[in-house]
């Protein structure tokens, strides 16, 4: 009996001799493939093996490094070239009024805020670890320390609070500088200092808001291992902000003119 196509017509012998499968067979194989394609999971990985979102955050951090490198370079170029005070590390006497201005930088306050920001990085590491291990049940005899380590909410709160404390210290510092006669328009030091530290403070503010959104999600539905990448992206940004501040603190506060 000769083979027939989908409409019931006989398939020519010449076609069969060429090894061409019947049309009905082709459609029978094509339909399941199209159907299964709708349920195929799409993993957004790049040729590096990393998720495209992680590549994107690294690219963003690279561009931000260029921004801060230009701001820090500008500060270093104009360092010590201010014609009028107040100065960061030395006293200055106004020749017109005779008023004496003490060194403007408050090293103890800034050292405290730096310590706070570094501790926030530790809290961020613990928050990420808590999210990654959320599906691992705690043993029945787990103590308070183990329960604290497993609480992503606790460590996200700690990171947000420590970040806010750093911003509060920076606001106090800026306000005291203005009261002591240093503004962004006073001299080259004021212009470069407020621009550099102000941009960094804006990045810290963005980080606190980002962490606040993760904390809200954690309260709404809970963060688990499936959310680890999102938390990891925030952690990378937060650590970048901390590393940049270490460079700023060293160059601006610890190295005199």
Tally of structural domains, the chain: 2
pLDDT higher at 234 or 140: 234
Assigned domain for 47 exists = no
Query: Under 8 Å CB-to-CB from 116, ≥6 apart: which residues?
Result: 162, 165, 166, 169
Does the pLDDT value for residue 10 go beyond 70? no
- Check whether residue 108 and residue 156 sit in a common domain: yes
pTM for the model: 0.78
Q: Does residue 239 belong to any structural domain of this protein?
A: yes
Asked if the structure places residue 20 within a domain, the reply is yes
Q: The domain containing residue 92 runs over which residues?
A: 52-254
Residue 95 counted as domain residue:
yes
Q: Give the CATH number of the domain where residue 173 resides.
A: 1.20.120.80
Q: Give the pLDDT score at 7.
A: 54
Indicate whether 125 and 179 sit together in one domain. yes
Same domain, 111 and 195: yes
Same domain, 96 and 157: yes
Q: Quick one: which H or E segment has residue 93?
A: strand 92-93
Q: Are residues 78 and 58 in the same domain?
A: yes
Judge if 22 and 64 occupy the same domain.
no
pLDDT at residue 226, rounded to an integer = 93
Q: Please name the residue that has the structure tokens 């043993």.
A: 139
Distance of CA 71 to CAs 74, 121, 203, 213, 216, Å?
5, 23, 14, 29, 34
Report the alpha-carbon distance of residue 130 to residue 233 in Å, rounded.
15
Read off the pLDDT of residues 167-184 as tens digits, 9 standing for 90 and up.
999 999 999 999 998 999
Same domain, 3 and 127: no
Residues 8 and 60 in one domain: no
Output the DSSP codes for 192-239.
Answer: HHHHHHHHHHHHHHHHHHHHHHHHHHHHHT---GGGHHHHHHHHHHHH
Residue 182 CA to residue 76 CA, distance in Å, equals: 18
State whether 24 and 115 are in the same domain.
Answer: no
The answer on 147 and 100 residing in a single domain is: yes
Report the candidate in 118, 107, 252 with the shortest Cα–Cα distance to residue 189: 252
Are residues 10 and 99 both part of a single domain? no
Report whether pLDDT(154) > 70: yes
**pLDDT single digits (tens) 63-116:** 999 999 999 999 999 998 988 889 998 889 888 888 888 999 999 999 999 999
Q: Is the confidence at residue 240, as pLDDT, over 60?
A: yes
- In tens, the pLDDT along 14-64 reads 544 445 444 444 444 444 444 444 434 345 666 666 788 999 999 999 999
Q: Note whether residue 128 is domain-resident.
A: yes
Same domain as 136, residue 35: no
């Amino acid at each position: 009996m000769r083979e027939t196509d989908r409409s019931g017509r006989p398939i020519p012998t010449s076609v069969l001799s060429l090894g061409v499968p019947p049309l009905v067979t082709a459609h029978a194989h094509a339909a399941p493939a199209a159907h299964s394609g709708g349920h195929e999971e799409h993993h957004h990985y790049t040729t590096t093996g990393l998720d495209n979102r992680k590549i994107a955050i690294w690219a963003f951090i690279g561009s931000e490094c260029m921004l801060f490198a230009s701001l820090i370079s500008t500060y270093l170029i104009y360092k010590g070239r201010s014609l009028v005070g107040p100065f960061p590390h030395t006293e200055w006497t106004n020749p017109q009024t005779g008023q004496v201005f003490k060194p403007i930088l408050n090293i103890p306050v800034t050292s405290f805020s730096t310590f706070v920001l570094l501790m926030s990085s530790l809290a961020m590491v613990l928050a990420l670890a808590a999210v990654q291990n959320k599906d691992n049940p705690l043993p029945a005899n787990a103590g308070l320390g183990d329960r604290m380590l497993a609480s992503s909410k606790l460590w996200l709160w700690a990171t947000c609070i420590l970040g806010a404390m750093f911003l509060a210290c920076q606001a106090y510092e800026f306000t005291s500088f203005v009261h002591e006669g240093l503004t962004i328009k006073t001299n080259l030091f004021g212009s470069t200092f407020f621009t550099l530290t102000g941009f960094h403070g804006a990045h810290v503010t963005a980080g606190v808001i980002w962490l606040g959104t993760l904390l809200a999600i954690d309260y709404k539905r809970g963060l688990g291992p499936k959310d680890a990448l999102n938390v990891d992206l925030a952690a990378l940004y937060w650590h970048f902000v901390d590393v940049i501040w270490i460079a700023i603190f060293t160059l601006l506060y610890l190295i005199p003119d």
